[in-house]
Chain A
């Protein structure tokens, strides 16, 4: 993304640009895998994606927050259609292997009961005058009223099964028409087991700004934006170019690269260079920059992640469980089941995200052959959706540590590393400036790559114009 943004904007500004791309496609991690795609990871395992027409997995970024105005601006300018990504789905599950017999619970039930019990407890404390030190009499009354609303409490401040709670958590028997059975309120999850379940850990997952509504995805796959940028600069892009050295002197920049299809060694010359190679790769390349930038390039570790797309023969999550898009959270190592936020109600197969893993589990999963990663995702996911075994058709398993074009997922800055190196990484060194999510305060998001690129080329242009 960073390289395409730089090429697009600089060309619009009147510069002659050339883009060197290691892969045989544009977009880098802004990538979508579809049926017919072939991917060979480091170590040689090849996956031929067999997803049905129109289905896809975004192995990298898969959502665009409303405040990521850099990415959204390119979608708008380049007319890439967007649709809502569903982050919080009240009807999706929260699941703990240790809680409620391992049975997944609906988000709406957990949230309603958690808020209800908390509001009830706090109301009791206020009524027992336990908060007199902190609250005036008037404010105590206001707080009680707000808790009654927030927690769906009764007039007496208690949280109970009944119409009020069921209007949020759902009825055991729903309202119907005509002479259908009368509605029956649902039972509450008991308070102490709910607290012990830790299911509440996911209730605020949609509260962070990055995940708040409205949040988007491009129609058809995340690579649509990168491809729209690419189509604007296609004549300037050289694919299959493996950069081996970057030199500069007072006259200009030379990039040595190997054409990976012919093995031919080539040189590209330019007056200036915007280098968007991930630090995990750049730290292995000879680059003529000063010691401070060199140290910054060498300083940043890369995190890994695993994402697995699973195609099933039908949308059982919609048909059987009324889950339309959104995310199920589980304490199983797969961590996430993401339901497609598109094509609702369509018959035929669909692809869901069957695992999105971080930390030790992602190292362990990522070191398995792809088929075994998929087997683990199926085994674990079937604890939540028993339909898996009957409906599974085909899958695609991305291990970012095995990515030939990034050697990892994203730059895992720490506060200490930023303090020591970030400013040095972002300086213009002679005729070279770096850009990418690694040169941003928004790691792993496309917005980091876009803003980093815009900032780098703005400073570069100023340097060029002002000398």
Chain B
């Protein structure tokens, strides 16, 4: 009878300890495994990887492979369409079909970072060449 409780409390301690690094105000440090919750209506992550995990991964999945249900979320992994940087920047800034826009919730640096990350990971080997200026010109 006691065992489930014991396991639970151990697990919960672990969860709470982990969560201590997760406070609402924990922002800046975007190391790979750090998780941020942004207060307000702007994303606070800065690195491409952190931004990818905070936004794109919700639908396109952490491995970039997309998903299939009643409809689908397209894969970003090994996706030739990712080569066309303006297309990807435009999708992030303005949305596409049911995909919401992120232009109001990210600045130019953030959009460039997450687009460059996507273009250079998940089997994509395109140039990491998107600049904040290019993002600004497509707003």
Q: Interface residues, chain A, CB within 8 Å of chain B? A: 22, 42-43, 97, 242-243, 277, 279-281, 283-285, 298-304, 331-333, 359-361, 363-368, 372, 374-376, 378-380, 382, 389, 392-393, 399, 401-408, 412
Contact = CB atoms under 8 A, between A and B. Distances in A.
Contacts, number: 138
Contacts of A279: 98
A379 B20 contact: yes
A242 to B, nearest CB: 6
A279 B98 CA distance: 7
Contacts of B53: 367
B99 A284 contact: no
A302 B98 contact: yes
Given A283-B98, A367-B57, A333 B39 contact: yes
A393 B100 contact: no
A299 B95 CA distance: 9
A363 B24 contact: no
B98 A378 contact: no
A404 B100 contact: no
A404 B68 CA distance: 7
A360 B25 contact: no
Interface in B39-74: 39-44, 53-55, 57-59, 61-62, 67-73
A405 B19 contact: no
Contact of B19 (A43, A299, A375): A375
A360 B41 contact: yes
B16 interface: yes
B70 A359 contact: no
B28 interface: no
Contacts of A365: 37
Contact of B61 (A43, A242, A378): A43
A199 B42 CA distance: 21
**Among B42, B43, B71, B101, which residue has the most Cβ atoms of chain A within 10 A?**
B71
Interface in B11-50: 12-13, 15-16, 18-20, 22, 24-25, 35-44
B45 to A, nearest CB: 8
B69 A382 contact: no
B54 A363 contact: yes
A364 B98 contact: no
A370 B127 CA distance: 34
B138 interface: no
Contacts of A367: 53-55, 57-58, 62
Contacts of B71: 280-281, 283-285, 407
Nearest to A22: B70
Contact of B100 (A42, A403, A412): A412
Nearest to A297: B97
Contact of B98 (A243, A333, A366, A407): A407
Given A379-B20, A412-B100, A401 B59 contact: yes
B70 A242 contact: yes
A379 B57 contact: no
Nearest to A403: B69
A425 to B, nearest CB: 14
A148 to B, nearest CB: 38
B19 A42 contact: no
B98 A97 contact: no
B42 A360 contact: yes
Max chain B C-beta neighbours (<10 A), residue from A298, A360, A393, A406? A360
A331 B39 contact: yes
A372 B18 CA distance: 9
B69 A407 contact: yes
A82 to B, nearest CB: 31
Of listed B9, B25, B37, B61, residue having the most chain A CB within 10 A: B37
B81 interface: no
B103 to A, nearest CB: 12
Contacts of A331: 24, 39
B49 to A, nearest CB: 12
Given A283-B98, A361-B37, A399-B58, 14 more contacts: A42-B68, A43-B61, A97-B25, A301-B98, A331-B39, A359-B105, A360-B40, A360-B43, A363-B54, A364-B38, A376-B37, A379-B15, A379-B20, A407-B71
A364 B36 CA distance: 7
B84 interface: no
A378 B25 CA distance: 16
Contact of A301 (B9, B25, B58, B100): B100
B2 to A, nearest CB: 14
17 contacts: A42-B69, A43-B61, A279-B98, A299-B97, A331-B39, A360-B37, A360-B43, A361-B38, A364-B43, A364-B55, A375-B15, A376-B35, A389-B12, A392-B12, A405-B70, A406-B70, A407-B71
A303 B8 CA distance: 34
Nearest to B72: A284
